[in-house]
């Protein structure tokens, strides 16, 4: 696993309450708060603050501003049910990495 992917996997693991296990790329769940009770603290939608919500949906002014700054990442909306997978699979990996990093910093 390349260093950048490993770092983002570790940061996402921290963000979601899972523990990243070394070079295996595996995660171990050590949730203190059950997933369905991790309500977003950035908005008033009362939904789970998971990766898809933060990166794609949250109406928080801070996150909306980040989406506007990185508007080129949102040009082709997903037409299937797995929006997050399609979003993180795009070609602009550097722009995507910067956007994800800034979202994580905003929600920290």
Average pLDDT, stretch 28-56?
83
Any domain includes 62? yes
Mean of pLDDT over the chain: 78
Query: Region 97-107: what's the mean pLDDT?
Result: 91
Kindly report, residue by residue over 23-41, the tens digit of the pLDDT: 555 545 555 678 888 889 8
* Domain annotation covers residue 59: yes
| Element holding 29 (H helix, E strand) | strand 26-29
Is position 21 within any domain?
Answer: no
Distances (CA, A) of 100 to 10, 29, 30, 33, 58: 13, 22, 23, 23, 14
In a domain, residue 35? The reply is no
* DSSP H or E stretch at residue 23: none
Assess if residue 19 is contained within a domain: no
59 vs 12: which has the higher pLDDT: 59
Predicted local distance difference test score (pLDDT) of residue 54: 93
Structural domain count of the chain:
1
Determine, yes or no, domain membership for 83: yes
**Max alpha carbon distance in the chain (Å)?**
37
Residues of the chain with pLDDT > 70: what percent? Answer: 69
Prediction pTM value: 0.68
Full residue range of the structural domain in which residue 101 is found: 49-107
């Amino acid at each position: 696993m390349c260093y950048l992917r490993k770092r983002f996997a570790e940061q996402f693991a921290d963000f979601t309450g899972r523990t990243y296990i070394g070079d295996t790329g595996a995660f171990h769940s050590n949730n203190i708060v059950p997933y369905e009770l991790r309500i977003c603290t950035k908005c008033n939608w009362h939904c789970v603050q998971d990766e898809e919500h933060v990166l794609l949906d949250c109406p928080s002014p801070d996150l909306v501003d980040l989406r506007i700054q990185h508007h080129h990442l949102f040009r082709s909306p997903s037409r299937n049910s797995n929006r997050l997978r399609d979003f993180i699979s795009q070609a602009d990996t550097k722009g995507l990495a910067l956007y994800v990093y800034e979202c994580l910093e905003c929600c920290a």
